[in-house]
């Protein structure tokens, strides 16, 4: 991950990369926050490329729940493309697992608190 970070810092000089306790993109300060990972942790590299993709795609905010899901799908698709430049293959199952958390969240939010129906 250290080598990837070094390369990304060079390849994307307009963005900052800052170690944090979680992975996320901050459009306000154009910063990709990342967690330090153990050596060889591929999922950390995938998350880093995903958050970088939010920055590359200019994601700033969203107005609807479905828009958030669309932003996440776009960021993962872009991450898969740029990963090729670094000889990284992002596992499709991992992406779907991540997207499932948003789908589950959307499903739960569609449930009526009074009767439990979806609509």
pLDDT at 58 (0 to 100): 97
Q: What is the mean pLDDT of residues 72-100?
A: 96
Q: What is the mean pLDDT of residues 31-58?
A: 92
Top-confidence residue, 79 or 40: 79
- What is the three-class DSSP state of 81? helix
Query: Nearest 5°: phi and psi at 91?
Result: -65, 125
The Cβ-side half-sphere exposure at 104, using a 13 Å CA radius, reads: 6
User: Which residues, in sequence order, are bridge partners of residue 33?
Assistant: 18, 24
Banded pLDDT at 119 (limits 50, 70, 90): low
In this predicted structure, the answer to whether residue 105 has a pLDDT above a threshold of 90 is: no
Helices 65-83 and 92-109 cross at an angle (nearest 10°) of 170
Per residue in 53-63, pLDDT (tens digit) is 999 999 999 89
d(Cα 16, Cα 27) in Å, to the nearest integer? 11
- What domains can be seen in the chain, in order of their start residue? 2-109 (1.10.10)
| Helix ranges, the chain (H) | 2-11, 42-56, 65-83, 92-109
d(Cα 8, Cα 6) in Å, to the nearest integer? 6
Comparing CA positions, the residue from 76, 13, 78 lying closest to residue 43 is: 76
């Amino acid at each position: 991950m250290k080598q990837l970070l070094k390369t990304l810092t060079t390849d994307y000089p307009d963005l900052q990369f800052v170690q944090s306790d979680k992975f996320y993109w901050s459009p306000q300060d154009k910063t990709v926050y990342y967690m330090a990972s153990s050596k060889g942790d591929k999922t950390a590299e995938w998350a880093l490329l995903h958050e970088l993709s939010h920055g590359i795609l200019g994601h700033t905010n969203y107005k609807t729940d479905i828009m958030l899901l669309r932003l996440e799908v776009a960021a993962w698709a872009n991450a898969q493309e740029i990963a090729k430049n670094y000889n990284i293959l992002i596992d499709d199952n991992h992406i779907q697992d991540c997207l499932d958390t948003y789908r589950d969240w959307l499903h739960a939010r569609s449930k009526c608190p009074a009767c439990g129906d979806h609509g």
